[in-house]
Structure formats: C-alpha cells, structure tokens
Amino acid sequence: MMSDSKSITNMVENIQKYEPEQSASDMALMIQRFEPKIKKAILQTNPEERADLEQELKIKVIILALQYKWAEIPDISNYLRTD
C-alpha cells in the first residue's frame, strides 16, 4: 500500500532518480494526489472529451515531475532588498 504521508518534493526527487520500483510507486501516488484537481478540471470540457483530457493531464503531471529543475528555484535572497 502506498503511503500518503510523502511530500510532493520527495516524490519528485524519487521520480527523477528513476529507481524503477520506487519511481512507479511515487508516480502512482502523485497522480492519486492530483486526482481531485484533475477531476474538477475536466468538468469544464465536453463529456465526450473528458476521458482523453484526464489521461493527458495525468501524463503531464508525470512529465512535469521528470523535468522539474530544482536548481532554478529562487531562494529568499532573490526577494530581499539590498539598499
């Protein structure tokens, strides 16, 4: 059984390391975490297109997790004034 206590950050790190068993588990958990948001979003489209859109959004979640660049996250010093 998958643990719901994992943070999205930990899941993304594991997905990017690509340890097959752990990555598959974290991908499934990440999709499960975003499922309510995906379900809500697809209600805004035509009923006959919802299944395709849901699948595409789930794929997009995994692609974004794989491509997320930790080094590009600004830290607090980027927002502080230096005058």
Mean pLDDT (the chain) is: 83
Domain ranges of the chain: 8-69
Q: Confidence band (pLDDT; 50, 70, 90) for 19?
A: confident
Determine the average pLDDT of the residues in 7-14: 81
Confidence of residue 2 (pLDDT cuts 50, 70, 90): very low
DSSP code, position 48: G
Find all residues with CB under 8 Å of 8, minimum gap 6, and list them. Answer: 30, 33
CA–CA separation, 23 and 68 (whole Å): 15
Here the tokens at position 70 are 């930790």
